[in-house]
Amino acid sequence: MTKLIKPQSPSEKILASRRKFLTGAAVAAPAALAAPYVNAQAPIRWRLQTYSGAPLGAHVIKPQIDAFNAAANGEMVIDLYYADQLVPTDELFRALQNGTLDAVQSDEATMASPVDISVFGGYFPFATRYSLDVPALFNYYGLNEIWKEAYDEVDNVTWLSAGAWDPLHIFTKEPIRSLADMRGKRVFGVPTAGKFLSKYGLIPVTVPWDDVEVSLQTGQLDGVAWCGFTEAYEVGWADICNYALTNSVTGAWFGSYFANTASWEAVPPHLQQLYRSTIDQSHYYRAVWYWGGEAKLRVEGEKMELTSIPADEWATVVADANGFWDEIAAESPRAGRVVQAFKDYASNMEAAGYPYR
């Protein structure tokens, strides 16, 4: 008897092609390596926990860890843990500092970093338009130096690198077509953007990452304000949320890699360089994975209806963000330097015009 094969939906075809990218973009496949290195000593072993759950972690961290472990050739092994597996996400910083974890991938706001620039981690409203804005800000507008300076004041935590993730959109079970429609909607989201959006009546709710899907199904959550289209489809939230708001609150998430300082200093220089190199590759992988998925799933994905807040109404949100920036800038001199970098960058991008703005 002929077995009936269910045709793939448009989004399933897109996701299948996106997952093929995973196999083609690794730094080094184990099969391509020479015979294993034989070391008389036990390998250095790290425990790294990411902010993300396993479905998303398959893209934002696992390719890097797999590549590092293969290239380290038996000298070092990193064990990867996903959101809340060893410690709750809001305790990541403390666990890193006391040595429970050797390394962390997260944004500052989500992991509650005790530094005066933590508010900029994750999604800072309208700080970016595109993912390339993040490395440009860090490498050319002084954010690398500011982040290092801030973490140098913290005992036993070493900040290593920041990169870009996806833009921030709001996905809900009921439509948002005006600012008034935000009122009372309970959404899972990142702290800074949630604080800003609460001005319009949105209610930020914190639950463990793995509980988001059930919380959406049971009505504890009305939506998510955590990610872009790529993640919403990849992790299954698009199966529950019916509507996607096209108005983006910001163009890219700021995420970083951190190490416990004692653990980092115990790693020989060549493995430190290998780790940094695979971080850079991870930044590249994510930039391409997200960028390709965002537009394709917004246009061809069939699971959510697109809605928009009218441009004149949304302009008031953009204007409110300017005041929010100034409030944050007043919190500390270093926060002021970050906000000034955002302003300088935005001014240059607007003046440069196409293709920058």
Give the pLDDT band of residue 29 (cuts 50, 70, 90). very low
Give the separation between CA 299 and CA 130, rounded to whole angstroms.
Answer: 18
Could you tell me if 83 and 53 are in contact, meaning their C-beta atoms sit under 8 angstroms apart?
A: yes
Same domain? For 215 and 267 the reply is no
Write phi, then psi, for 121 (nearest 5 degrees). -70, 150
Give the pLDDT band of residue 136 (cuts 50, 70, 90). very high
Give the pLDDT band of residue 32 (cuts 50, 70, 90). very low
Q: What is the CA radius of gyration of the chain?
A: 21
Under 8 Å CB-to-CB from 125, ≥6 apart: which residues? Answer: 192, 193, 196, 249, 250, 321, 324, 325
Same domain? For 181 and 142 the reply is no
Could you tell me if 26 and 67 are in contact, meaning their C-beta atoms sit under 8 angstroms apart?
A: yes
Same domain? For 323 and 183 the reply is yes
Q: What angle do CA 289, 311, 307 make, to 5 degrees?
A: 55
> Is residue 60 in a domain?
yes
> Is residue 30 in a domain?
yes
Write phi, then psi, for 47 (nearest 5 degrees). -115, 120
Same domain? For 241 and 339 the reply is yes
Give the CATH number of the domain where residue 154 resides: 3.40.190.170
Could you tell me if 185 and 222 are in contact, meaning their C-beta atoms sit under 8 angstroms apart?
A: yes
Give the pLDDT score at 35: 44
Question: Residue 68: which domain range?
Answer: 18-165+254-296
Q: Regarding predicted confidence, which is higher, 8 or 106?
A: 106
Same domain? For 34 and 125 the reply is yes
Tokens of 174: 């009921």
Number of domains making up the chain: 2
Give the pLDDT band of residue 190 (cuts 50, 70, 90). confident
Closest of 321, 288, 290 to residue 52, by C-alpha: 290
Residue in the block written with tokens 């801030």: 150
Could you tell me if 81 and 209 are in contact, meaning their C-beta atoms sit under 8 angstroms apart?
A: no
Same domain? For 305 and 292 the reply is no
**Within 10 Å of residue 42's Cβ, how many Cβ atoms?**
8
Whole-number percent of the chain with pLDDT over 90: 85
Same domain? For 99 and 130 the reply is yes
Whole-number percent of the chain with pLDDT over 70: 90
pLDDT tens digits, 255-309: 999 999 999 999 999 999 999 999 999 999 999 999 999 999 999 999 999 999 9
> Is residue 29 in a domain?
yes
Same domain? For 82 and 212 the reply is no
Maximal C-alpha separation, the chain: 73
Same domain? For 46 and 63 the reply is yes
Give me the DSSP letters along 22-41: HHHS-S--GGGS-SPPP-SS
Is the pLDDT at 245 greater than 80? The verdict is: yes
Same domain? For 228 and 97 the reply is no
Give the pLDDT score at 21: 53
Give the pLDDT band of residue 30 (cuts 50, 70, 90). very low
Sheet holding 305-307, edge to edge: 203-205, 186-189, 223-227, 168-172, 243-250, 305-307
